[in-house]
Structure 1
Amino acid sequence: MKLKTPALLFTSLVPLLSQAAELHADRYVVTFPQGDRVEYKGAYASAFPDGLPVGVGSGLQFIRKEGNDLIFATVTDRGPNADSPKAGEKDSKIFANPKFTPLLMTIRIGDGKAQAVDAHALHDEQGPVSGLPLPEGLIGATNEIALSDTLQQLPSDKRGLDTEGITPDGKGGYWLCDEYGPFIVNIDAGGKIVKKYGPQAQQGEQGVAGGLPNIIKWRQANRGFEGVTRMPDGRIIAAVQSTLDIDGKSKNSALFTRLVSIDPANGKTAMYGYPIDAGVYKKAKDAKIGDIVALDNNRLLLIEQGGDKNKAMRNLVYVVDLTQASDLSEFDKEQAPEFNDAEQLKARGIKLAGKKEILDLRKLGWQQEKAEGMTLIDNQTIAVINDNDFGLQAVLDNPQSESTKADDYEVDGRGHLTLNGKEVATRIALKPLEKPESLNELWVITLPESLK
Structure 2
Amino acid sequence: MKYSLLALAITLTSGAALADVAKVEQFNIEVAKADYVPYQGAFAERFPGGFTTGLGSGLLFNGKQADGSLSFIAITDRGPNGDSPVLVQTGSDGNVSKTASKMFPAPAFVPAFMDVTLRDGKAVASNKVELSDDQGKITGLPLPANLIGSTSEVALSDTLSVITSDKANGLDSEGIVKDGKGGYWICDEYGPFLVHLDGNGKITQKFGPEAGAGEKAVAGGLPNILKWRQPNRGFEGVAFTPAGKVYGAVQSTLDINGETRKVAQFTRLVELDPATGKTRMFAYPIDVSSYKHPGDAKIGDLAALDDHRFLIIEQGKGKDKKMHNLVYQIDLSQASDLSELKINGKEPEFASAEELQAAGVVMANKTLVADLRANGWQVEKAEGLAIVDDHTFAVASDNDFGLSTEVVNAVEGAKGADDYQTDGKGELMLDGKAVASKVELEPLKGAEAHSALWIFTMDKAL
Shared fold (TM-score, shorter chain, > 0.5): yes
**Structure 1 residues 355 and 391: alpha-carbon distance in aligned structure 2, compared to 1, 3 A threshold:** same
* Per-residue deviation, 1:424: 2.5
Give me the whole-angstrom Cα distance separating, in 1, the residues matched to 2:26 and 2:318. 26
Q: What secondary structure does 2:295 align onto?
A: helix
Q: What secondary structure does 1:372 align onto?
A: strand
* Per-residue deviation, 1:145: 1.3
Mapped contact 1:416–1:427 kept (Cα < 8 A)? no
Q: Which residue of 2 aligns with 1:239?
A: 249
* Per-residue deviation, 1:401: 5.8
Matches within 5 A, 1:266-415: 266-332=276-342, 334-400=345-411, 403-415=414-426
Letter in 2 for 1:103: A
Give me the whole-angstrom Cα distance separating, in 1, the residues matched to 2:293 and 2:198. 39
Superposed CA deviations along residues 70-118 of structure 1, whole A, max 9, x for unmatched, are: 1111110000001112225432110010000001111111111100100
* Per-residue deviation, 1:290: 0.2
**Structure 1 residues 184 and 346: alpha-carbon distance in aligned structure 2, compared to 1, 3 A threshold:** same
1 or 2 for the larger relative contact order (CA 8 Å, sep ≥6)? 2
Letter in 2 for 1:412: D
Give me the whole-angstrom Cα distance separating, in 2, the residues matched to 1:23 and 1:14. 19
* Per-residue deviation, 1:122: 0.3
* Per-residue deviation, 1:200: 0.4
Mapped contact 1:162–1:178 kept (Cα < 8 A)? yes
Q: Which residue of 1 aligns with 2:64?
A: 65
* Per-residue deviation, 1:405: 4.3
Q: What secondary structure does 1:418 align onto?
A: strand
Letter in 2 for 1:325: A
Q: Which residue of 1 aligns with 2:49?
A: 50
Mapped contact 1:8–1:24 kept (Cα < 8 A)? no
Identity among equivalent pairs (%): 51
Give me the whole-angstrom Cα distance separating, in 2, the residues matched to 1:166 and 1:230. 9
Q: What secondary structure does 1:139 align onto?
A: coil
Q: Which residue of 1 aligns with 2:173?
A: 163
Mapped contact 1:175–1:186 kept (Cα < 8 A)? yes
Q: What secondary structure does 1:78 align onto?
A: coil
Q: Which residue of 1 aligns with 2:433?
A: 422
Letter in 2 for 1:368: V
* Per-residue deviation, 1:406: 3.2
Say which of 444, 447, 452 aligns to 2:458: 447
Q: What secondary structure does 1:437 align onto?
A: helix
* Per-residue deviation, 1:282: 0.7
Consecutive unaligned residues in structure 1, runs of 5 or more:
none
Say which of 423, 433, 447 aligns to 1:436: 447
Give me the whole-angstrom Cα distance separating, in 1, the residues matched to 2:441 and 2:315. 27
Give me the whole-angstrom Cα distance separating, in 2, the residues matched to 1:420 and 1:152. 19
Letter in 1 for 2:45: S
Mapped contact 2:280–2:339 kept (Cα < 8 A)? yes
Give me the whole-angstrom Cα distance separating, in 2, the residues matched to 1:278 and 1:71. 36
Say which of 214, 218, 227 aligns to 1:217: 227
Matches within 5 A, 1:119-268: 119-156=128-165, 157-268=167-278
* Per-residue deviation, 1:404: 4.4
Give me the whole-angstrom Cα distance separating, in 1, the residues matched to 2:383 and 2:270. 18
Mapped contact 2:405–2:417 kept (Cα < 8 A)? no
State the number of aligned residues.
449
Q: Which stretch of the first structure deviates more once superposed, 400-409 or 167-176?
A: 400-409
Give me the whole-angstrom Cα distance separating, in 2, the residues matched to 1:132 and 1:38. 15
Give me the whole-angstrom Cα distance separating, in 1, the residues matched to 2:271 and 2:371. 27
Q: Which residue of 2 aligns with 1:85?
A: 85
**Structure 1 residues 350 and 108: alpha-carbon distance in aligned structure 2, compared to 1, 3 A threshold:** same
* Per-residue deviation, 1:400: 4.0
Q: What secondary structure does 2:447 align onto?
A: coil
Consecutive unaligned residues in structure 2, runs of 5 or more:
89-97
Letter in 2 for 1:70: L
Mapped contact 1:59–1:374 kept (Cα < 8 A)? yes
Superposed CA deviations along residues 168-194 of structure 1, whole A, max 9, x for unmatched, are: 111101000000000000111111111
Q: Which residue of 2 aligns with 1:26?
A: 25
Mapped contact 1:373–1:386 kept (Cα < 8 A)? yes
Superposed CA deviations along residues 54-79 of structure 1, whole A, max 9, x for unmatched, are: 00100000011112011111110000
Give me the whole-angstrom Cα distance separating, in 2, the residues matched to 1:398 and 1:22. 46
* Per-residue deviation, 1:124: 0.7
Letter in 2 for 1:212: L
Mapped contact 2:252–2:267 kept (Cα < 8 A)? yes
Q: What secondary structure does 2:341 align onto?
A: helix
Letter in 2 for 1:440: S
Superposed CA deviations along residues 240-270 of structure 1, whole A, max 9, x for unmatched, are: 0000000110000000000000000000100
Q: What secondary structure does 1:206 align onto?
A: coil
Give me the whole-angstrom Cα distance separating, in 2, the residues matched to 1:251 and 1:16. 29
Mapped contact 2:238–2:248 kept (Cα < 8 A)? yes
Superposed CA deviations along residues 390-428 of structure 1, whole A, max 9, x for unmatched, are: 000101123346754434311221211111212223221
**Structure 1 residues 403 and 277: alpha-carbon distance in aligned structure 2, compared to 1, 3 A threshold:** closer
Give me the whole-angstrom Cα distance separating, in 2, the residues matched to 1:33 and 1:379. 32
Mapped contact 1:384–1:444 kept (Cα < 8 A)? yes
Give me the whole-angstrom Cα distance separating, in 2, the residues matched to 1:179 and 1:408. 24
Give me the whole-angstrom Cα distance separating, in 2, the residues matched to 1:402 and 1:277. 32
Mapped contact 1:260–1:269 kept (Cα < 8 A)? yes
Superposed CA deviations along residues 104-150 of structure 1, whole A, max 9, x for unmatched, are: 11111111110010001100111110100000010000001110000
Q: Which stretch of the first structure deviates more once superposed, 376-385 or 323-332?
A: 323-332
**Structure 1 residues 45 and 65: alpha-carbon distance in aligned structure 2, compared to 1, 3 A threshold:** same
Superposed CA deviations along residues 336-379 of structure 1, whole A, max 9, x for unmatched, are: 10000011112222111111111000000000101000000000
Mapped contact 1:230–1:294 kept (Cα < 8 A)? yes
Q: What secondary structure does 2:261 align onto?
A: coil
Give me the whole-angstrom Cα distance separating, in 1, the residues matched to 2:418 and 2:206. 36
**Structure 1 residues 134 and 332: alpha-carbon distance in aligned structure 2, compared to 1, 3 A threshold:** farther
Q: What is the RMSD computed on CA atoms of the aligned residues?
A: 1.6
Letter in 2 for 1:54: T
Give me the whole-angstrom Cα distance separating, in 2, the residues matched to 1:332 and 1:39. 49
Give me the whole-angstrom Cα distance separating, in 1, the residues matched to 2:137 and 2:110. 6
**Structure 1 residues 332 and 75: alpha-carbon distance in aligned structure 2, compared to 1, 3 A threshold:** farther
Mapped contact 1:24–1:446 kept (Cα < 8 A)? yes
